[in-house]
Amino acid sequence: MPAVKGARRNHGLVPVNFRRKKARGFLALSKEGIRGVVEAFASAARRALDAGFQVLEIHSAHGYLIHEFYSPLSNQRTDEYGGSFENRTRLAREIVSAIRRQWPERLPLFIRISATDWKEGGWDLDQSVELVKQLAPLGVDLVDCSSAGLVPDQKIIAGPGFQVPFSERIRRDTGVMTATVGLIETKEQVAEILAKNRADLVLMAREFLRDPYWPLRAARELGYKISWPAQYLRAAPPDSPARKPLDVETLKAKGMN
C-alpha cells in the first residue's frame, strides 16, 4: 500500500489505520520487522540494566503494539502471528523470552496488560488468564492488570476499583502476583484490596497528580513510620527517619545491576 504523499510511514499489524476508515500510509509489519521489534525490546532491557534499574515493566496494554497483536479486534494477520490464540500471543511470548535473556532472574519483570477490551468479540479476562499462564514460565513475576484502550467504541463500566476483579481473578487462577489500578484513591481502598488478597500491589497515578504526598499523608494517618525526604523532615511526624539516597556503588557491589 503506497504511503500518502508527504506522510510518515507507520508500521503495524496490517495495512489499516484502526481508528480511521481510510488507511494513511500504514504498512503491515514483516516478519523481519517483528524480529526487529523483539530485538529492540531486548536491547532496551539491556540498557535499563546498565543504567541501574532494578524493576522492568513491559507495556502491552492500551492499544500499544503487543496488545494490538493479542486482541482479535485488531489482529487481522493470516500468518503465524494471527488467527488463533496461540498465534496472536506469540509476540508477547517472544518479547518476554528475549527480555529475560538480558534481564537477570534475580530482578523482577512486570508486564501490563489490558485484561479486557470491553467490547464483544474482543480480548477478555479468560484469555488474559491463559496468557499469564504462558508468560509465567518465561519469567514474568507480576501482572499489572489494566484494561481497554484499543477501540473507540469500547463500553467501559467504570467506578471505584472497577479493575480489581481482573487482578483478583488472574492472581487466583494462575498463582502469579498481580497489581491493580484504576480509580483507587483512598487508603481504605488500598487496605481492603491487599487484606483480601485481591492483588499483591496497588499502583496509583492520577491520585498522585492530585496529591503528590499521598504516601506520606496516608502513612501519617495510619500511624505508620515511613522515611521522608531529608528536605521535608521539618514537616514530618516526630522521629521520622530521613530517606537515604540510592547508593549505586553499593548496589553494584551486591550484584544488583
| 105 and 96 Cβ atoms separated by less than 8 Å | no
Between CA 16 and CA 21 the distance in angstroms is 8
Residues labelled catalytic: 64
| 88 and 75 Cβ atoms separated by less than 8 Å | yes
Between CA 150 and CA 113 the distance in angstroms is 11
Ordered alpha helix ranges (H), the chain: 31-50, 65-70, 85-88, 90-100, 125-135, 164-174, 187-195, 206-210, 214-222, 248-253
User: Torsions phi, psi of 204, nearest 5?
Assistant: -125, 145
